[in-house]
Structure 1
Amino acid sequence: MAALGRAEGDAGHGAQRFRKAGGSGLLDHLRTVPGITFGAAEGGNPIGDRPFIRGFDGQGSTFVDGVRDIAAQTREVFATDQVQIVRGSDSTLGGRGSAGGSINIISKLPVSGDFVRANASVGTSDYKRFTVDVNRELGSNIGVRIAGMWHDQDVAGRDAVWSQRWGVAPSITLGLGTDTRLTAAYYYLESHELPDSGIPFLYTLGNHPGIGEIETGPAIGRITTAGGVTGTVKRTAFYGLKSRDFRDATTHQATLRAEHDFGTVTLRNTSRWSRNDQAYIFLLPDDSQGNVYGTAATNPTTGAAGARGDVLNGGYVWTRANTRYGYTTVMTNQTDLFGTFETGSIKHSFALGAEFNFEKARRGTFVSRGFLTASGAETLASGGTISPRCNTATIARYYCTSLFNPNPNAPWVNYASDTSSVQAPIVKTLLGEETQNEASTASIYAFDSITLLPSLILNLGVRYDHFTSKVTPGLTYAQALADTPSFTLERTDKLFNWQAGLVFKPTRNTSLYASYATAATPPNALLGEGQEGNSLGTANNAAALTLLESLKTEKTRSYEVGAKADLFENQLALTLALFQTDTDNARVTGPNNTVEFIGKRRIRGVEFSFNGNVTSWLTVFGGYTYLDPKIVDGGFTALTAPAVGAQAAKTVLVPSVNTGRMATQTAKNSFTLWADLKPAPGLSFGGGAFYTSKQYGGYADNRSATQSAAGVVTVNPATKILSRTIPEYWRFDARIGYSITPNIELSVNVQNLTDKVYFSQAYTNHYAAIAPGRSAFATIGVKF
């Protein structure tokens, strides 16, 4: 039901809802929440979950049982009991980041009682999944629980793409049901897959035939290129290579939690160690040179059109390889004191705590040559020493593939150099260069929910974080092995955040609230595990040191008012919220062509959500979110006026094309609805409808600068302003279930019922992620 005493937007999603909706990963379930969109592996982001909450990147704001889980990864839900989503700035609750909100995954741990729950599923696209959840009480006050999963599938509507994984999560609690409890838990997940390469955007800024405000979307369906080549890009088109592309990942997580109840007050200490490893090579369909639609651009070296044999007609995709190897380790200790007490007629629900953690991240790239040089400078051979243009040579070397008929079975070939005709051996070997990030945090925090009157509640919270981070970039292979870095950049940030909210309850089942909260994102907040708007730098020079001193913490403020109600004797919860979130100190280029922290972003929105039972036979969950996300100040862009006569080239600064535009990776309108109908005993029907409006990935324009013989610089206004977008979409899911006995249920899920071709992520450049086609699977579930 609605948290009537809380002055912020929040939502909880239980394991039963996960099972009925048919998803297996965290993102499958976040898609059912309006106002959450997704980004992925581009611009420094490794492959993994990257939700945007209220328009803000939430990749570094995911927690497991209240402990930050910084590593980039694709999370499973087989061992998840509930997912809590907090909307609005909440660095007071979670620490650094959390500008738009946070996600907290609650693990399955021992509970009172004995039960076994198992589910086995098979379906289209070779879908196979098995999960088990066993809970037992052993003797006096000892509880054990183990959850397990095995999963194997291809991806519906996509050639070549597949995924395999398995996991186990045992736990034990001593003192179950008593005042003193000790819980030990372990979580392991191992996954292997052929990553999806997505679909490239059709146009670049240079080859788009339009003028003025123009857009490009993914190159899908019937297409005629600039050179008159006509063909159809099917939804199944896969531009990667089976012989090259892969992704392997593992997660280890060990937790020890001790708790003791002192009447209405509980003292809890949580210690956790975790390690996440990830390695991949996957194709990024790079179209920075206009290979898809085609271009009449001249050879940049000779000035002659097509002198290199460039395919100017279009119809090709450059098969650029992205590579990464990395691991992240985290050690955390939290101590919390929470409970209730009274001071006269005033009631308090409080929490005090302290947290200490150490985080370490290492990341590097693969090399594909048969050897490593002493400097470790080798890189994956993919045509890296020439411009990524598709010509007769690069097509012959499989650096390019057909837009309309890509061949995932093409060989992965490697040459000693891009001009050599001699093939070299291929070895997926670590490492090229390695970057090391470390951070240590010491935090204290306090919260109090004060019931001043039965109808008036004041919520207060404060948190201080002492965050020290350092980065050691550019280690060669030899330096990484010997752990002998040549230099390190380090800084310390002191973060203070607070929140305040007032709740008025005009009736027992309704409440009105207003709240204010802050968030802070310091430099190096993601430790390289996501896109750093405020990274520490990667060079050992004066410029990097100057930047280190000038870096500022991005600061966010959230204002929110809303109403909550529980209807039908607390069976149906309704929530309405109006909010505005402002961010200052975003890192941009300043008017003097230096890095400055003057960027501003503002997001206004309205949310309406519902959750619960409309009648005894109808249960609903969903909502609608409207966002008005605006880049208020995007900084400046540098233009260079070429040299003329005796006049040297000059640089002039103009306002960024981003200023005044809609923030990227965000949808203005989103709607979700899941309904379960029980028309007869044992029989249930479920259905979902999900809508997301158009999203923007990035912007570009063609402003230029020229100068006269006298050195007077003229800025030529843009004739093209390009937006990279993905279109709006509706998706529908369905489910039917029948309980053969109280302990056995059969069900069938159909996802993407209409086989809609839609895109789930619009990247800053190059390409968009295409969603799976229609799939169906049947499940038998038993419990006893």
Structure 2
Amino acid sequence: MSYIRSRKHNPARIAALVAATLSFGANAASETNEAADQLPEVNVTATPEVPFKANTSASSKFTKPLIDTTQTVQVIKKEVLREQGVISLTDALRNTPGITMQLGENGNTSAGDTFSMRGFATQNSLFVDGIRDLGAVTRDVYNLEQIEVVKGPAGADIGRGAASGYVNLISKLPSLDSVNMATISYGTADKKRATIDLGEKLGDTVAVRLNAVGFDGNVDKRDEVENQNFSIAPSIAFGLGTPTRLYLYSQHVRQDNVPDGGIPTIGMSGFYNASTSLNGGRKVDRENFYGSDNDYEKVDADMFTAKFEHDLNDKTTVRNISRYGKTNMDRVATGINTGATGLVAVTADPATWTVNRSRQRIDRDDEILVNQTSLNTMFDLAGFKNTFTGGLEFMYESQKSKGFGTTAQTVNGVTYAAISNPAANLYNPNSNDLLGIPYAIPGTDTDGRTITAAMYAFDTVDITDKWQVNAGLRYEHYNTKTNGGTIVTATNQAQFPGYAVGSIAPTKGSNSDNLLSWKVGGLYKPAPNGSIYASYATSYTPPGSANFALSATANNQNNGAMDPQKTDNVELGTKWDILNNQLNLTAAVFSTENSKQASFDDQGQAVQNGRTRVNGIELMAVGQLTKAWQLSAGITEMRAKALDQQNDTGVVTDGVRWTPETSATVWSQYSFGDFTLGGGARYMGEQKRLVTKVDASTQNMPEIPSYWAADAMASYKVNKQLNLRLNVYNIFDKEYIETLNNGGGRVRLGQPRSALLTAEFMF
């Protein structure tokens, strides 16, 4: 804390002098000086910036500072990402507990950022500046000011599909302060990366900014797997520092990657196969690549945004934001099958053992068009202070996926040959093996889209200086339509009367409904720097919410005849800013239940009474302990359980996949003059794959074992223009499973010990 004590610059004295001059004229100046000299001294407090800690959200939907917000919100600032040497969004999210990464179904590998939070899938709840972000993209952090992780059902905030919260990415935008920074990095596995952040004023109220990144590199201890990314984000702002402001900005991503299908789980703890000889097999080399030299993943993503803001007065602001975005992902990836028939041991010699391979092809377009208008204001009503925000949102979203085949068949008179995928040698795979690429089948594409019209409102009422109540709601009407085509076979012909075997029957689905999501909270402030709160919130996930692809299969959760799933959440918590408001401490106890899930009753009849319940507690500390000592830490304890869920054969599901009981993360750093040393660790508890009541000893890899990993950082400030930093990841070279596929036969191991050296230039 600093104080301005100089009488020479005393603002009260200056104000008195001006007032006296206007009132009495020049002849009274000497008397005014004497009066001013007798005025009390005024202390002006300058609150120092805290690099890791945020006091407010960048979202216009939050009506109060974070300490007075009645739900768990963690803000990961760009300073944290820079010090940790973070490149991707998934790496950035390791700073918050309760998030796990996903690999995908059997034979397939999930594309883009795929993760769950507090026991529920969250990859379709990604937002950029408050607007839903579509597309299978592995997101880079180069253009992010901060990442806001909002936990708990958030239907009132963002609409459908927000069962456990959402992640809001805040873009870097122009300002009147010049920003000029560049980085050059080189790391293990020949990783090369460069970024630039340029910001300049073009006048008193106009500024531009340009962010860009280039990356090319392999993946540590993985043969053949590599990633390339070039992205650019230009922006311009008009009217800065005035009541009327306009921001025009865009982002353009070009990625060219080799997808990683992982390695077989043979030899790992928990591996099981019906073949006795395979159960005694050793682990494969983690560097083994079971794909093809022809595997590829190409991503083109473009986003254009216009944001208009106008201050009607010092308490009221009107905003309008419009966005168009389109993403194409074209991908051919190789998966491996290590189930009962996937691994083959025909001899006693392991050198001849093989593993089956399959090819996955995706050619998908995601498109979004949004217009959002909002109002933020403060007013007094019946003697109570109200902080209000409300708005309207209109949104068009679509996903188009091409249909592909791999088997020998005749469709509409065209004969397709089977795609040949020779098995790979288990311990010595050859990426030069000739593998077939799935062929396109005209007429089998899937085209889904959703149109949404919504209105929302949030209000916080200050009952007294110590008591606040808040409420929010969102009413939306959605309309989802899916058009596709299904190949008619002898097996399914009865479902398509009038269509011959080998023809393509058009399939259509539609679903529309009105949803009303809401939240309510109460907050007590025992002190200005602390709060205690309770809240209740709801959200809905209608059929086809994730990809707008409605299913014709009975009892499928995406069948248009299904009711939306409903999520309810109760949270009790407290938040405190301590150490002169430099360190924020939060604690929350929560209970979330998702209902209306597809299931079967004891007679094998389809019902919608399945539930998932997650109870937990979360603790976090973010900020600084001293001016030189920074801290970001969190721990979550969860108990997840599936209720009233079983399949049509009576197998009961009682667990929740990929939901560890304990997850924790900590990062701390200390500065010694121009030197800074930092380090951290993350712990992930056991994650269940097997969640049904069956004999676990006969199931392959029933869980991901618990693990921990530690990172370290050292930096040196050479001068005002140059900073050098070395990041070392997984310093103890702990081997752990990061993701496991749903069948338990394929894993992706966590990052081994690796390093990245970065030079930062300020100019």
Normalised-by-shorter TM-score class:
0.7 to 0.9
Q: Which amino acid letter does the alignment assign opposite residue 761 of structure 1?
A: T
Which residue pairs with 1:668 in the alignment?
Answer: 661
Deviation at 1:225, TM superposition (A): 5.8
Deviation at 1:312, TM superposition (A): 11
Q: TM-score, normalised by structure 1?
A: 0.82
Q: Which 5+ residue runs of structure 1 have no aligned equivalent?
A: 209-214, 295-305, 383-397, 415-425, 477-483, 529-534, 639-653, 704-717
Q: Which amino acid letter does the alignment assign opposite residue 5 of structure 1?
A: D
Deviation at 1:519, TM superposition (A): 0.8
Which residue pairs with 2:734 in the alignment?
Answer: 756
Which residue pairs with 1:276 in the alignment?
Answer: 327
Q: Which amino acid letter does the alignment assign opposite residue 353 of structure 1?
A: G
Which residue pairs with 1:536 in the alignment?
Answer: 550
Conserved? CA contact 1:701–1:720, under 8 Å: no
Q: Which amino acid letter does the alignment assign opposite residue 291 of structure 2?
A: G
Change (3 A) 1:406 1:45: closer
Conserved? CA contact 2:624–2:631, under 8 Å: yes
Among candidates 215, 221, 226, match of residue 277 of structure 2: 226
Deviation at 1:515, TM superposition (A): 0.5
Q: Return the alpha-carbon distance in structure 2 between the equivalents of residues 402 and 181 of structure 1.
A: 62
Among candidates 370, 375, 386, match of residue 337 of structure 1: 375
Which structure 2 residues correspond to residues 359-398 of structure 1 after superposition, within 5 A?
359-366=397-404, 378=416, 381-382=419-420
Deviation at 1:314, TM superposition (A): 9.1
Among candidates 183, 190, 203, match of residue 119 of structure 1: 183
Q: Which moved more, 1:234-243 or 1:152-161?
A: 234-243
Deviation at 1:545, TM superposition (A): 12
Deviation at 1:403, TM superposition (A): 2.2
Q: Return the alpha-carbon distance in structure 2 between the equivalents of residues 230 and 773 of structure 1.
A: 23
Change (3 A) 1:719 1:80: closer
1:363-410: CA deviations, max 9, x gaps? Answer: 12456899996567848714xxxxxxxxxxxxxxx5211222222233
Which residue pairs with 1:136 in the alignment?
Answer: 200
Which structure 2 residues correspond to residues 673-712 of structure 1 after superposition, within 5 A?
673-679=666-672, 681-699=673-691
Conserved? CA contact 2:360–2:438, under 8 Å: no
Instruction: Kindly indicate whether residue 92 of structure 2 is the aligned counterpart of residue 29 of structure 1.
Output: yes
Which residue pairs with 2:622 in the alignment?
Answer: 611
Higher relative contact order (CA 8 A, sep 6+): 1
Instruction: Kindly indicate whether residue 433 of structure 2 is the aligned counterpart of residue 410 of structure 1.
Output: yes
Instruction: Kindly indicate whether residue 386 of structure 2 is the aligned counterpart of residue 328 of structure 1.
Output: no
Q: TM-score, normalised by structure 2?
A: 0.84
Which residue pairs with 2:303 in the alignment?
Answer: 253
Q: Return the alpha-carbon distance in structure 2 between the equivalents of residues 473 and 228 of structure 1.
A: 43
Among candidates 338, 341, 348, match of residue 287 of structure 1: 338
Which residue pairs with 1:735 in the alignment?
Answer: 713
Deviation at 1:701, TM superposition (A): 6.5
Deviation at 1:313, TM superposition (A): 11
Which residue pairs with 1:458 in the alignment?
Answer: 469
Q: Return the alpha-carbon distance in structure 2 between the equivalents of residues 550 and 636 of structure 1.
A: 19
Q: Which amino acid letter does the alignment assign opposite residue 118 of structure 2?
A: R
Q: Return the alpha-carbon distance in structure 2 between the equivalents of residues 371 and 230 of structure 1.
A: 37
Which residue pairs with 2:14 in the alignment?
Answer: none
Q: SS of the residue aligned with 1:242?
A: coil
Which residue pairs with 2:211 in the alignment?
Answer: 147
Conserved? CA contact 1:59–1:72, under 8 Å: no
Q: SS of the residue aligned with 1:31?
A: helix
Which residue pairs with 1:648 in the alignment?
Answer: none
Which residue pairs with 1:441 in the alignment?
Answer: 452
Conserved? CA contact 1:248–1:280, under 8 Å: yes
Which structure 2 residues correspond to residues 495-510 of structure 1 after superposition, within 5 A?
495-510=515-530
Q: Which amino acid letter does the alignment assign opposite residue 512 of structure 1?
A: I
Change (3 A) 1:634 1:311: farther
Change (3 A) 1:234 1:171: same
Q: SS of the residue aligned with 2:95?
A: coil
Among candidates 579, 589, 596, match of residue 585 of structure 1: 596
Change (3 A) 1:547 1:775: closer
Structure with bigger helix share is 2
Deviation at 1:431, TM superposition (A): 6.0
Which residue pairs with 1:169 in the alignment?
Answer: 233
Among candidates 65, 73, 77, match of residue 14 of structure 1: 77
Q: Which moved more, 1:14-23 or 1:763-772?
A: 763-772
Which structure 2 residues correspond to residues 540-689 of structure 1 after superposition, within 5 A?
548=559, 550-638=561-649, 654=650, 656-659=651-654, 661=655, 663-679=656-672, 681-689=673-681
Which structure 2 residues correspond to residues 305-320 of structure 1 after superposition, within 5 A?
315-320=353-358
RMSD between aligned residues: 3.1
Which residue pairs with 2:118 in the alignment?
Answer: 54
Change (3 A) 1:499 1:229: closer
Conserved? CA contact 1:292–1:314, under 8 Å: no
Change (3 A) 1:492 1:429: closer
Q: Return the alpha-carbon distance in structure 2 between the equivalents of residues 600 and 374 of structure 1.
A: 43
Conserved? CA contact 2:543–2:558, under 8 Å: no
Q: Return the alpha-carbon distance in structure 2 between the equivalents of residues 405 and 328 of structure 1.
A: 38
Q: Which amino acid letter does the alignment assign opposite residue 197 of structure 1?
A: G
Conserved? CA contact 2:337–2:343, under 8 Å: no
Deviation at 1:232, TM superposition (A): 3.9
Instruction: Kindly indicate whether residue 216 of structure 2 is the aligned counterpart of residue 193 of structure 1.
Output: no
Deviation at 1:49, TM superposition (A): 0.8
Which residue pairs with 1:513 in the alignment?
Answer: 533
Q: SS of the residue aligned with 2:591?
A: strand
Q: Size of the alignment, in residue pairs? A: 682
Instruction: Kindly indicate whether residue 243 of structure 2 is the aligned counterpart of residue 265 of structure 1.
Output: no
Q: Which amino acid letter does the alignment assign opposite residue 91 of structure 2?
A: D
Q: Which 5+ residue runs of structure 2 have no aligned equivalent?
A: 1-53, 56-65, 488-503
Report the structure number with the largest CA radius of gyration: 2
Deviation at 1:674, TM superposition (A): 0.6
1:228-276: CA deviations, max 9, x gaps? Answer: 8744412212211123x11111110000111100111110011100001
Q: SS of the residue aligned with 2:544?
A: coil
Conserved? CA contact 1:367–1:431, under 8 Å: no
Q: SS of the residue aligned with 1:125?
A: helix
Change (3 A) 1:490 1:91: same
Conserved? CA contact 1:135–1:143, under 8 Å: yes
Among candidates 746, 749, 762, match of residue 767 of structure 1: 746
Which residue pairs with 1:212 in the alignment?
Answer: none
Change (3 A) 1:177 1:370: farther
1:524-581: CA deviations, max 9, x gaps? Answer: 10125xxxxxx62157xxx699995631100000000011111100000000000000
